[in-house]
Amino acid sequence: MIPLPKKHIISLNPYSPGKPIEEVKRELGLKKVIKMASNENPLGPSPLALKAAYRALKKVHLYPESGSYYLCQKLSAALNVRPENICMGNGSNELILLAIHSYASSPEDNIAYGFPSFVIYRIIAHSYGIKTIETGLKNHRIDLEKLADSLTEHTKIVFLCNPNNPMGTMNRGDEVEAFVEKVPSKVLIVMDEAYYEYADKKTFPDLVKASTERKNLIILRTFSKMYGLAGLRVGYAVGNKSIIETLNKARQPFNVNSVAQSAALAALDDCRHVQRTLEINEEGIDYIVSNLREMGLEFVPTSTNFILIKTGDSKKFFDMLLEKGIIVRPMGAYGLNEYIRVTAGLPAENRKFIKNLKIAMTQTGGK
Ligand SMILES: Cc1ncc(COP(=O)(O)O)c(C=O)c1O
């Protein structure tokens, strides 16, 4: 006899992350590898955050603030909400897990979301044996009417990834507000805004205040993208006090480590890094888009720091680019076998990507 895991863990299809740079160097014997696969910040971490992280290292013999007190205070001031409206997570991933862990339990329960979207919703739900309802897209955007109509009496949570990963598209404020009104009050709405900082604020929904007032809405954001702290794992949820209390009860003590807390605190002051990131991203996306147009390649217009490109046979293009030391993301796991997803990089990285994409296209008999 051996210990047997739960049956839904045995059948779980685990998350397949972007390939790490060191792994590619090792496997292919390459000296220089660039990663454009995980929507990380090509400028690196916020310099202010880095300094704060070094300082915090001297105190790692002590446990961190269990509830990330100072970070909650600072975020609450920045967002104009109360600290009780914020729960910090070990990346926003942990908050997705905590939401499912806390609000869905029985095998009849389901969670709903538009798909393709962030596959973690599916993976975590299935790890708990909870069903998933996946509704399609309309013009590459989440079809909010379809999503609202798909909810059943057993739906516990509806996720809305906005802007949506991997599509890069965004649902406007007026549409999202109408959607929120349509969702029954007993269903928890989780707005996953991991790429919020990149979106056009003129049309992007601003639901922070509503999330503190409504009884069924939370917003998730992260320090992994814009602030360049993906490796430190810090995200947060904003919402009504009672939902936040529930997430706080369910989380582990010390879920955000002390170095991460200090770095995130400092990153919030680093307006220069945010500004430079937005500039380099806009320049990168513009450069990639203008080249794709020139090449006659289809792509999905993006509101984020990544772009979905229709290359045909995405695994093949992934492999060809990998051989040249460029890591992109093949989109098969999202049901998009003909697409690769590419994060905008530094100018030289974008040039290297386009140059090698052109070569790969020629070699495969493409345009
Ligand atoms: C849409 C979306 N949500 C959440 C996450 C998780 O981010 P993190 O756990 O690093 O905060 C990601 C990461 O890629 C994402 O793309």
Write the pLDDT tens digit of every residue in 219-250.
Answer: 999 999 999 999 999 999 999 999 999 999 99
Ligand 1 centre distance from Cα of residue 158 (Å): 17
Pocket flag, ligand 1, residue 117 (CB < 6 Å):
no
Ligand 1 centre distance from Cα of residue 294 (Å): 32
Q: Fold match between 7-45+271-363 and 48-267?
A: no
Ligand 1 centre distance from Cα of residue 194 (Å): 6
Pocket flag, ligand 1, residue 92 (CB < 6 Å):
yes
**pLDDT, position 367:** 54
Query: Long-range contacts made by residues 323-326, C-beta under 8 angstroms, separation at least 24?
Result: 323/28, 324/352, 324/356, 324/359, 325/24, 325/28, 325/30, 325/32, 325/33, 325/34, 326/33, 326/34, 326/36, 326/352, 326/353, 326/356
Pocket flag, ligand 1, residue 93 (CB < 6 Å):
yes
Ligand 1 centre distance from Cα of residue 362 (Å): 34
Expressed in percent and rounded to 5, the helix, strand and coil fractions of the chain are: 45, 15, 40
Pocket flag, ligand 1, residue 192 (CB < 6 Å):
yes
Pocket flag, ligand 1, residue 164 (CB < 6 Å):
no
- In the structure encoding, which two tokens stand for residue 353, read together? 């990507």
Q: Is 41 exposed, middle or buried (0-12, 13-18, 19+ CB in 10 A)?
A: buried
- According to CATH, the topology of domain 48-267 is Aspartate Aminotransferase; domain 2 (3.40.640)
Pocket flag, ligand 1, residue 278 (CB < 6 Å):
no
How does strand 131-135 pair with strand 110-114? parallel
Q: Using the Cα atoms of residue 26, residue 28, residue 30 and residue 34 in order, give the sign of their dihedral.
A: negative
Question: What superfamily in CATH does domain 7-45+271-363 come from?
Answer: Aspartate Aminotransferase, domain 1 (3.90.1150.10)
**pLDDT, position 16:** 85
Please state the pTM of the whole predicted model.
0.96
| Domain spans of the chain, in order of start | 7-45+271-363, 48-267
The label of the residue with tokens 């939401």 reads: 99
**pLDDT, position 105:** 85
Side chain identity at 225, as an amino acid letter?
Answer: K
How does strand 306-310 pair with strand 299-300? antiparallel
Pocket flag, ligand 1, residue 265 (CB < 6 Å):
no
Q: Whose CA is nearest to atom 2 of ligand 1?
A: 194
Helix (H) or strand (E) holding 323, with range, is helix 314-323
On the question of a cis peptide bond just before residue 166, with omega within 30 degrees of 0, the verdict is yes
**pLDDT, position 190:** 98
**pLDDT, position 366:** 63
| Successive 10-residue mean pLDDT values, the chain, 367 residues | 91 89 94 96 97 98 96 98 98 98 94 97 96 96 98 98 98 97 98 97 95 97 98 98 97 97 98 98 98 97 98 95 96 94 98 97 79
Ligand 1 centre distance from Cα of residue 315 (Å): 23
Cα gap 226→223, rounded to integer Å: 7
**pLDDT, position 365:** 76
